[in-house]
Amino acid sequence: MSGYAETIERLMGELGRLPGIGARTAERLAFHLLKASDEEAFALADAIRDVKTRIHPCETCFNLTEDEQCGICADPQRDKSVICVVEQPKDLLALEATGSYRGVYHVLMGRIAPLDNVEAEDLTVEALEARVRAGLLPAELDDLRPALSPEDAWRMREEMERTFEPVEPVEPKDNTKC
């Protein structure tokens, strides 16, 4: 026992569960919050509550949003015939920051990692397949490589080729690839 009050210990324990936060950093953060004004501390608590209650995956691409569809999926100016498959919402944001891609996205919400017991069923691969069945074919399935092992990407490509009728690839109008 460190000698701190139970409430401080609990706060330090919760902060220490965050990625990259060790016991010493959790202790520093806890004391920072104790020194902060009520307004500052409650603003942080409200922000955490809001993100947990208001943010959810886009019903189409799984990007994070407060609405049913994210701003990208709702944008009529987007080329919906080109899909860039990304691993996480932060990857989508990095591509958007370049301003050069005008297609839509599909966020897998993770990476297949058999050693960590993360399989395709744990990601949004099924929803991606449904989008493909609906006529939205990713420009290149090789774009899945950051989130899939090469073997899994080829296995998925072979499965899709067996499942779906052959379709001619659609090149982006301005030859932009994600």
| 24 located within any domain | yes
Name 105's bridge partners.
84
Least confident of 77-86, 93-102, 141-150: 141-150
Q: What does the pLDDT read at residue 66?
A: 97
177 DSSP assignment = -
Q: What does the pLDDT read at residue 142?
A: 44
151-161 confidence digits (pLDDT tens): 666 666 666 66
Least confident of 12-16, 47-51, 55-59, 144-148: 144-148
Q: Are residues 85 and 116 in the same domain?
A: yes
Q: Are residues 130 and 90 in the same domain?
A: yes
Q: Are residues 36 and 72 in the same domain?
A: no
Q: Is 60 exceeded by the pLDDT of residue 146?
A: no
| 175 located within any domain | no
| 59 located within any domain | no
Q: In this predicted model, which residue has the larger pLDDT, 10 or 147?
A: 10
Q: Are residues 77 and 118 in the same domain?
A: yes
* Secondary structure E strands in 71-146: 79-86, 103-107
| 171 located within any domain | no
Q: Are residues 91 and 151 in the same domain?
A: yes
Global pTM reads 0.68
Q: Is 60 exceeded by the pLDDT of residue 17?
A: yes
34-46 confidence digits (pLDDT tens): 999 999 999 999 9
Q: What does the pLDDT read at residue 83?
A: 86
CATH code where residue 19 lies: 1.10.8.420
Least confident of 24-33, 83-92, 135-144: 135-144
Span 70-87, average pLDDT:
91
Q: Kindly tell me the number of DSSP H helices and DSSP E strands found in the chain.
A: 7, 4
Q: Are residues 48 and 76 in the same domain?
A: no
In whole angstroms, what is the distance from residue 6 CA to residue 84 CA? 48
3-state secondary structure of 160: helix
In whole angstroms, what is the distance from residue 33 CA to residue 16 CA? 14
Q: Are residues 81 and 102 in the same domain?
A: yes
Q: Are residues 101 and 132 in the same domain?
A: yes
Report the domain count for the chain: 2
3-state secondary structure of 176: coil
Span 37-58, average pLDDT:
97
Residue 49's domain comprises 6-54
Residue with tokens 């499942």: 163
Helix axes 23-35, 6-16, angle to 10 degrees: 120
